[in-house]
Chains A and B, each alone.
Chain A
């Protein structure tokens, strides 16, 4: 069975601190995709990144970086020099590449990040 676990329910940091959101996944498939989405207080989920199972290169986008390690089945997300605008709920998700049902994402429980000024 496929599963995504975000063990951190809530994280609170002070602005300018670095913060890492953990994501651990379970799948028996060799081909799959992993995602991170951000849900600000307005409600809609905003796509941050998609990574396929064959690409273990770490990715950096501005203050955001992602560390994908197949050996530990983890896809962690780090925000450097956090800002108040980063306050949101962050979801990690998993999908099988070979599935015809491309929207059947399996979401983690989400991590609520609060960045205090």
Chain B
């Protein structure tokens, strides 16, 4: 079945360590996105990419980095510069065309920094 796979589902890290969250899709979607979810704040866009080897900052990109070397993959690195990294991270993908595309989401990765 087509979908988005995020791993790991749960991740614990010590303060000051970089961590990388994986996101893989087999939907043949050109666009991929990373959102952060905090309790009571909805979802906020971190980064997005509409084509391989290109990506754009979202609303809260500071302290994060991404790469898009393959169409299917869009990993997110949470760096030590991110001041409050404990959160639920959601990856999504969509086709790219004019208009408002429907996003397909993965099941998320919960990062806890100790």
Contacts and interface: CB of A to CB of B under 8 A. Distances in A.
A, B bound: yes
Given A103-B31, A108-B42, A43 B108 contact: yes
The contact size tier of chain B is 20 to 34
A115 interface: no
Contact of B102 (A42, A44, A47, A52): A47
Contacts, number: 69
A79 interface: no
A107 B102 CA distance: 14
17 contacts: A33-B100, A44-B106, A44-B107, A45-B90, A45-B103, A52-B100, A101-B48, A102-B94, A102-B98, A102-B99, A102-B100, A102-B101, A104-B58, A105-B43, A109-B41, A110-B40, A110-B42
Interface of A: 4, 9, 33, 35, 37, 42-47, 50, 52, 91, 95, 97, 101-105, 107-110
